[in-house]
């Protein structure tokens, strides 16, 4: 009897600790479907001299429900630091990385809401915004609103002449109510 009571209490406590109230409308979240880790491996001279492009590398699924409230959403990106840090103490400027958002082929076409290519900075920059079209649409099911991110490194601003190192920068992608 005592064992059964403990098990029941554990299940009740587990359900209470993980249960969350529903989010108020409007509400939203995003899921990185693929490409959560972006790696530029400059293993050939051509890549080093001309740069690298990782086309449609990251796929983000946007879930947003305005509940008829007349709001929409926007997607922004920034670096989490002022530079790209190397393991051996070397640094790169953030501007060697450029990012382009595009429609990911979801149920809702989002191409008209995507901003042109951005150069990475430590300040929030919009990837997907209203564009005066009434805002990106709601999407409450998986695959409704898909965004692809393409990354370029060393294409516009070369990494040629930079010291070899293992460089790391964290990217922060944020979903905002617009």
- The pLDDT score that the predictor gives to residue 24 is 53
**What's this model's pTM, rounded to 2 decimal places?**
0.83
Q: Which CATH number fits domain 27-177: 2.40.160, 3.40.1350, 2.60.40, 3.30.1380?
A: 2.60.40
Q: How far apart are CA 174 and CA 130, in angstroms?
A: 15
- The pLDDT score that the predictor gives to residue 1 is 39
- The pLDDT score that the predictor gives to residue 80 is 95
Q: How far apart are CA 98 and CA 66, in angstroms?
A: 31
Ranges of the chain whose pLDDT falls below 50 = 1-23
Domain ranges of the chain: 27-177
- The pLDDT score that the predictor gives to residue 23 is 45
Give residue 91's region: left, alpha or beta (phi > 0; psi -120 to 50): beta
- The pLDDT score that the predictor gives to residue 27 is 81
DSSP-assigned letter for residue 164:
P
DSSP-assigned letter for residue 156:
S
**CB–CB of 83/94 below 8 Å?**
yes
**Contacts with 159 (C-beta within 8 Å, 6 or more apart), sequence order:** 42, 48, 51, 92, 96, 153
- The pLDDT score that the predictor gives to residue 67 is 78
């Amino acid at each position: 009897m005592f064992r059964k009571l403990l098990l029941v209490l554990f299940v009740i406590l587990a359900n209470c600790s993980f249960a969350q109230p529903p989010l108020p409308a409007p509400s939203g979240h995003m899921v990185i479907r693929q490409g959560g880790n972006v790696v530029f491996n400059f293993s050939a001279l051509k890549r080093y001299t001309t740069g690298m492009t990782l086309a449609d590398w990251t796929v983000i699924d946007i879930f947003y429900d305005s509940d008829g409230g007349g709001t929409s959403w926007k997607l922004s990106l920034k670096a989490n630091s002022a530079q790209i840090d190397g393991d051996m103490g070397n640094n790169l400027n953030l501007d060697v990385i450029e990012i382009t958002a595009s429609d990911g082929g979801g149920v809702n076409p989002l191409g008209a809401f995507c901003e042109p290519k951005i150069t990475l900075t430590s300040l929030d920059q919009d990837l997907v915004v209203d564009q005066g079209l009434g805002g990106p649409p709601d999407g409450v099911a998986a695959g409704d609103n898909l965004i692809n991110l393409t990354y370029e490194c060393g294409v516009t601003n070369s990494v040629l002449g930079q010291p070899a190192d293992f460089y790391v920068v964290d990217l922060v992608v944020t979903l905002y109510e617009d």
